[in-house]
A and B are shown apart, each in its own frame.
Chain A
Amino acid sequence: MAEVPSHTREAQQPEKPGSGSTVVVISELVKQFGKLRAIDNLNMTINTGETFGLIGPNGSGKTTLIRMLVGLMRPTSGAIRIMGERIPSARIAPHIGYMTQLNALYLDLTAKENMQFFCNIYGLRGKQQKERIDEMLERVDLANRTNDVAGTFSGGMKQRLSLACALVHHPSLALLDEPTVGVDPELRRSFWDYFAQLNSEGITIIVSTHHLDEAARCTRLGLMRSGALLAHDTPQELLRQSGKDNMEDAFLHFASQQKKN
């Protein structure tokens, strides 16, 4: 049977069993910065309760795509729908959690104060707030540093606090831009264990990374290069389609296919 590169298939991918409805639908998305076409006619869907990995080298457009998904950047053309709402939409904001590459934290506030601020602007108050903050700090292993000023934290600790802040308000869609950069292997594994747990609770995660070993832990993957989507399927499918036995080779296979077209 002749192989057909994934990006020429239709936008609507076959449903993974038990994944429910789609959360994000991206159609014909284009982002142009002057001469540079940062996102080139992207079509993609993301299903509820999955961890969708955006894999690709630096400059492939992963961050640009995520920024457009959270509404920080407007598309040149094309449409994004999250939970049925056309983006940008103010109604979506309470349901989205966002973690940037820069650890966006208030370094002059303590871990707890940082989280209190985000709880307050997301409307989580009182006893619920207190319990949630304790729970999240426990989960990212910062419970013993609750009242320490964030500026004194190490890089990894800041990363953990940043993740906690992104998820504290029970978002149903979390967009995490390279959450594991500069994070040690033990912590990386615990992050991915946490993502799997969130998925089982019905929370959808879109995560970008250029660690191909993390790709195997994603429900589905989007391989990106130069603003275009090379392939868009489960890790197993991608390995099968490319006839390779590891993600790195599979990625290079799809990349070379793109160059041919």
Chain B
Amino acid sequence: MSLARILALANRIMRQVLRDKRTLALIFIVPLLMMTLLYLVLTNTSSVHTLAIVRPSGTGSDTIDTLITNLLPGKDKLNTIYINADQVDDKLKNGDADAAVIFPPNFAQQVFSDQNPAVQIKLEGSDPGVASAMRDLTESFTHQLGLALATLKAQQTQGKGGPAPITLSTLAGPLPFTINEPQYLHGGPQYTFNDSIAPVFIGVFSFFFIFILTSVAFLRERSQGTIERVMVSPLTRPELVLGYICGFTLFALVQSLIILLFVVFALQVHYSGNLALVFLVTALLTIGSVNLGIFLSTFAQNEFQIVQFIPLVLGVQVFLSGIFWPIAQLPGALRPISYILPLTYANDALRGVMLKSAGIGQISGQLVALLIFALAMIMLSSLTMRRQIA
């Protein structure tokens, strides 16, 4: 054992790393960037949800309204909007509200005349975390309202004037109205966080692995010298790009299918949508991913340098494409970045299809965005291939 030899080797390794500026950036700068991003996302992400209320109408509603306003959490904790009964589904569908509490007309009258009206809670449901929080909130709110109204009724029967005595029987007794079982527009009480993550995995894995596969394969074409043979041959550059896309798309689709089957049958994730649409999203994402791989591989001389791109290509998207934190709740400064990431749209589309049974019409916007990304990447990759000819 020779210390001198050990140090000679360590010294050589250090010289190699010091000469490699990109590796130095990877070791020192990238962790700081990632941590900053995570910090910004975690501390500033707001989680104020929106509750829509269909107010009771008819005589005596004012009292109830005041009660409602007083019982609801403040603006900093909950955003409340007041709507009509026919607007409920629309508001939930387009995301203006996360949940709704619907009071029937003549609610006050029915309560005070012992007719036991029904109050309906409706939850949007596609984000199980939000749905569960809103369910707790609305159930507790309606329960409190019930207690308050029960006390008021007791006061009424005792005669007017003076604060109503709150007896145990008032508090422990039945509420003067029924709270119906909450309805879910999408999903259901059995849906958990896992269900909202699973669709996202299909997009993330297919994007990431196809990117890595393509960039390494293309790098090898260059480093093995075969790219020159190919360029001298009758194969045109558009044919080259299409060849790569076709070669990898099959694997991307099979991978999506396998993940989907696993997620549905092995992980028992709940799923409601159209398989063909899942494939369409995956195929579009793959086209973009292949061309991004071709483009970025021209900046890499070896596989390690491609690895150095992973924090940039995948890391940023994990934080900002809405996988764990919804885009609308991200800090304002970061949101524009979300809108240029392909996974933002893929995740949205996949969740729409798998959790909300979205049809092609509802995800058309996201499909167009993915198409634009694919075309932009095709342009970049063809520009770089042109530069191969000096």
Contact = CB atoms under 8 A, between A and B. Distances in A.
Interface of A: 70-74, 90, 93-94, 96, 98, 100, 102-107, 118, 121-123, 165-166
B232 A165 contact: no
Given A72-B231, A74-B389, A121-B230, A90 B236 contact: yes
16 contacts: A71-B389, A72-B231, A72-B232, A72-B390, A90-B236, A93-B234, A96-B232, A98-B228, A102-B224, A104-B228, A104-B229, A121-B230, A121-B234, A122-B233, A122-B234, A166-B229
B233 A121 contact: yes
Contacts of A123: 234
A72 B228 CA distance: 7
Interface in B211-260: 224-226, 228-236
A93 B390 contact: no
A157 B389 CA distance: 29
Which size bracket describes the interface of B in this complex? 10 to 19
Given A72-B389, A73-B390, A74-B389, A106 B224 contact: yes
Interface of B: 224-226, 228-236, 388-390
Contacts of A122: 233-234
A71 B231 CA distance: 9
A176 to B, nearest CB: 13
Contacts of A93: 232-234
Contacts of B229: 98, 100, 104, 118, 165-166
B85 to A, nearest CB: 65
A102 B232 contact: no
B233 A104 contact: no
A118 B231 CA distance: 12
Contacts of B234: 90, 93-94, 121-123
Nearest to A175: B232
A107 B233 contact: no
A234 to B, nearest CB: 29
Contact of A103 (B225, B233, B388, B390): B225
Contacts of A102: 224-225
A220 to B, nearest CB: 24
Contacts, number: 51
Contacts of A118: 229, 233
A104 B224 contact: yes
A98 B235 CA distance: 14
Contacts of A121: 230, 233-235
A214 B330 CA distance: 71
Given A72-B390, A106-B226, A121-B230, 19 more contacts: A70-B232, A71-B231, A72-B228, A72-B231, A72-B388, A72-B389, A73-B389, A90-B234, A98-B229, A102-B224, A102-B225, A103-B225, A104-B225, A104-B226, A104-B229, A105-B226, A106-B224, A121-B233, A165-B229
Given A93-B234, A122-B233, A105 B224 contact: yes
Contacts of B233: 93, 118, 121-122
**A-B residue pairs, 3 tightest by C-beta:** A104-B225, A102-B225, A93-B234
A49 B199 CA distance: 63
Contacts of B228: 72, 98, 100, 104
A182 to B, nearest CB: 15
A106 B225 CA distance: 9
Contacts of B235: 121
Contacts of B231: 71-72
Contacts of B236: 90
A206 B231 CA distance: 19
A31 B63 CA distance: 91
Contacts of B225: 100, 102-104
Please indicate which of the listed interface residues A74, A107, A121, A122 has the most CB atoms of chain B within 10 Å of its own CB.
Answer: A121
Nearest to A114: B226
B367 to A, nearest CB: 33
A106 B226 CA distance: 7
Nearest to B240: A121
A132 B132 CA distance: 69
A71 B233 CA distance: 10
A168 B390 CA distance: 27
A118 B230 CA distance: 8
Contacts of B232: 70-72, 93, 96, 98
B165 to A, nearest CB: 86
Nearest to A68: B390
A172 B298 CA distance: 33
A246 to B, nearest CB: 34
Contacts of B390: 72-74
Contacts of A74: 389-390
Most interface-central of B236, B388, B389 (chain A CB within 10 A): B389
A107 B224 contact: yes
A96 B232 CA distance: 8
Contacts of A94: 234
Contacts of A98: 228-229, 232
Nearest to B226: A104
Nearest to B231: A72
B341 to A, nearest CB: 33
A70 B225 CA distance: 14
A238 B131 CA distance: 90
Q: Taking each of A72, A94, A103, A107, which has the highest tally of chain B beta carbons within 10 Å of its own beta carbon? A: A72
A93 B231 CA distance: 9
A121 B390 CA distance: 24
A104 B228 CA distance: 8
A122 B233 CA distance: 7
A165 B231 CA distance: 14
B386 to A, nearest CB: 11
